[in-house]
Amino acid sequence: MKRTFLRAVELIFDAAASPKAWPRAVAGIAAAAGADAALLAFGSNADEVALLATVGIERPPTPLAASTLAAAFVAPLDGSAVGMVAFPAAWGGRLGAGADEALAALGLQGRRGGAAGVSLTREGGAVGALWLFPIPGARLEGEGLEALQDLVPHLARALAVHGRVELAERRAAEAADAFDRVALAAVVVDSEARPILANRAARRISAQQDGFMIGENGLRGATPADTRMLHAAVAEVARRGSGPGLGLRLSRVSSSRPYEVMAVPIGRGRRWPALRSRGAVVFVSDAGVPHVSPEQLVRDLYVLTGAETRLAVLLLGGQSLPEAAAILGISRNTAHTQLAGIFRKTGTGSQAELVRVLLSGPGAVRLPGDSSDAYPQAEVER
């Protein structure tokens, strides 16, 4: 039994570091406790509960609804101390609302009486529960029950770590999505100009191979001299760790107007001094590609008509009023009338002021799936 217990502890901590190891960990716990079936339910909140791992259970053809899992396996433990092993007899022999349906879907009919449940976490709104099922008619007791009680604190800590990692990954994904919505090209790099995260606009510029490229070994310019200048700027702002940053211009292979680049310092890793490192965000502007505002945002923000919105976006894209009228197929008088309406609704009095106002707002944002700029989709260069 001691060897089985130690193996279960080892598997639990493996799972804390690697979520794929949870089935092995739950199997180890079930073996130590003398159960032949088990399930681990977890969710970032009670509305998102899922089966993190199961042992000796036939999964249903379709996943159990989160509400069913929460009602059957999480709610019955509400009020129990985290880490306390409880038996359904404490609730009059009922495992929880919807338990019969849930157990039937899992192939565990007749297992309610001998089941034992454990509340595992309530950290940050997360919920977790372990349920163990011995063979029908049996109960968890003796050395098996003692082993379970000794394992539960380790499991609770491991699941709390799992919840924190899952939350961190979710926040990282949300931050990356927000980064992609920024119309200006931006790349987070370390002090040696190696890319950590590039937004969509930066990947598109890199795909052009026209003077600013994102490679695994670092950012590059069109010439060795430009690359050295770019790396020196990143190293300098990273060394400073604060301040306004440094600006530079990178030549273009196509002889177009140079890219305008700004390297701004950032700091990372405040908690552990030994792991602290500094980097930079490199912003790249291509004067030949205007930041065209999403029509939907322009229309909603200023309550413009569809015709006014289309004209405003063309003007923001650099078209003159006659050019915009020709593109839209309207007369100059109609264009002037629509422009007057745009001025009134946006509180502006000239095209220059209109462009400034629009660029200060929705022009810096991209909607999901928007491909209004001139660059094709591309991944970071390998």
Q: Are residues 216 and 280 in the same domain?
A: yes
Q: Are residues 281 and 313 in the same domain?
A: no
Instruction: Report the Cα–Cα distance between both ends of the chain, in Å, rounded.
Output: 51
Residue 291's nearest CA partner among 366, 225, 215, 230 is 366
* 3-state SS, residue 82: coil
Residue 365's nearest CA partner among 177, 116, 111 is 177
The pLDDT > 90 percentage for the chain reads: 41
pLDDT score, position 259: 93
How far apart are alpha carbons 160 and 358 in whole angstroms? 45
* 381 found inside a domain: no
Q: Is this prediction's pTM over 0.75? A: no
pLDDT score, position 233: 94
* pLDDT of 256 over the 60 cut: yes
**pLDDT tens digits for range 18-37:** 889 999 999 999 999 999 99
In whole numbers, what is the pLDDT of the chain averaged over residues? 84
* 378 found inside a domain: no
How far apart are alpha carbons 11 and 30 in whole angstroms? 12
For residues 103 and 271, the model is more confident at 103
Q: Are residues 119 and 24 in the same domain?
A: yes
How far apart are alpha carbons 227 and 54 in whole angstroms? 53
How far apart are alpha carbons 202 and 259 in whole angstroms? 12
pLDDT score, position 99: 78
- Residue matched to tokens 């609704």: 345
pLDDT score, position 378: 32
**Domain range enclosing 343:** 295-364
How far apart are alpha carbons 191 and 237 in whole angstroms? 8
* 379 found inside a domain: no
**pLDDT tens digits for range 272-314:** 454 456 889 999 988 776 555 667 778 888 899 999 999 998 8
**pLDDT tens digits for range 213-241:** 999 889 999 999 999 999 999 999 998 87
* 290 found inside a domain: no
Q: Are residues 133 and 170 in the same domain?
A: yes
Q: Are residues 306 and 167 in the same domain?
A: no
Q: Are residues 147 and 62 in the same domain?
A: yes
Query: How does DSSP assign 165-205, residue by residue?
Result: HHHHHHHHHHHHHHHHHBSSEEEEEETT--EEEE-HHHHHH
* 371 found inside a domain: no
Q: Report residue 16's pLDDT band, with 50, 70 and 90 as the boundaries.
A: confident
* Residues in CB range of 296: below 8 A, 6 or more apart: 367
Residue 259's nearest CA partner among 212, 291, 198 is 212
* pLDDT of 108 over the 60 cut: yes
